[in-house]
């Protein structure tokens, strides 16, 4: 009996040792993965856009769908006199893990803290914000082939549906610089903008209560852009004309009332 008990104890001890080894191994792999994450993250940015990037810390937990990033700095590519483009103090996001498997991702909490954005048009007329936008929008050959094979209807796709239950946005400073001859050298917009939003969806209008400083910065940036990005910046930063919308609502209600009267049976 004593021998059997000894073997059982030894077996249990060996099992615990194996389990502890696996835990330590997974912990070491996890730490190694965490150490590699900042380099992987910045290399993706550089390979996709051509903008050099560095980040002080980057944490991502696939089991809890949590992401934390601090100290992201993105620099302009060659051809720009000004090297700085974007400085993000902090970005955090906590997602509803199961929602990521569906068609409508849900973020329980997200924080975006931007220290500075420097929008530059270089001497040749190339704008760094427009350049970043176009390079991020470019699809790879395999993506293009897949969209073509899926047909025009599928290629068009439907807009991404999402929900952010809590969103905190901070934007400290925007610098607009024009390096073309004869243009004003630099305009600095000190914003100190901070807003908290709840239940954000694609239909949320952020420009309903923006301060004049943000509208001025948006107008300044929009003057240096063209095409879709110009329209996007303008729509996001210029205040909504409440009188126009109120008049539109009144006309819509009046039309609806007239239709109801027409539908009523005549005596």
The DSSP-derived string for 110-142 is: EEEEEEEEEEEE-TTS-BHHHHHHHHHHPPPHH
SS3 34: helix
Mean confidence (pLDDT) of the chain? 77
pLDDT digits (tens, 9 = 90+) for 106-161: 889 999 999 999 999 999 999 999 999 998 876 545 555 555 555 444 444 455 67
Report the predicted TM-score, pTM, of the whole model to 2 decimal places. Answer: 0.71
Torsion of CA 247, 248, 252, 253, to 10 degrees: -30
pLDDT digits (tens, 9 = 90+) for 168-218: 999 999 999 999 998 877 999 999 999 999 998 877 877 777 899 999 999
pLDDT for the residue 248: 42
User: Which two tokens mark 121?
Assistant: 């048009």
| Distance, CA of 198 to CA of 188 (rounded, Å) | 30
- Domain ranges in the chain are 11-140+159-249
Residues, the chain: 267
């Amino acid at each position: 009996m004593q021998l059997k008990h000894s073997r059982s104890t030894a077996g249990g001890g060996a099992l615990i040792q194996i389990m502890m080894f696996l835990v330590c191994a997974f912990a070491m792999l996890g730490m190694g993965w965490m150490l590699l994450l900042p380099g992987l993250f910045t290399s993706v940015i550089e390979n996709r856009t051509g903008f050099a990037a560095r980040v002080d810390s980057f944490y991502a937990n696939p089991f809890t769908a949590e992401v934390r990033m601090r100290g992201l700095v993105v620099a302009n590519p060659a051809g720009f006199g000004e090297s700085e483009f974007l400085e993000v103090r902090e970005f955090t996001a906590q997602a509803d893990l199961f929602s990521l498997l569906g068609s409508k991702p849900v973020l329980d909490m997200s924080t975006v803290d931007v220290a500075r954005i420097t929008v530059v048009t270089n001497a040749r007329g190339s704008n760094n914000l427009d350049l970043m936008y176009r390079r991020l929008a470019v699809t790879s050959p395999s993506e293009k082939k897949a969209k073509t094979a899926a047909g025009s209807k599928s290629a068009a796709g439907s807009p991404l549906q999402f929900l952010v239950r809590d969103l905190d946005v901070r934007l400290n400073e925007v610098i607009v610089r024009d390096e073309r001859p004869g243009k004003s050298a630099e305009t600095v917009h000190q914003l100190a903008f901070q807003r908290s939003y709840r239940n954000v969806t694609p239909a949320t209008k952020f420009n309903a209560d923006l301060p004049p400083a943000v509208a001025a910065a948006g107008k300044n940036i929009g003057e240096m852009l063209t095409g879709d990005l110009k329209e996007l910046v303008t729509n996001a930063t210029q205040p909504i004309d409440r009188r126009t919308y109120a008049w539109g609502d009144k006309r819509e209600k009046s039309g609806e009332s007239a239709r109801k009267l027409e539908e009523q049976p005549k005596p």
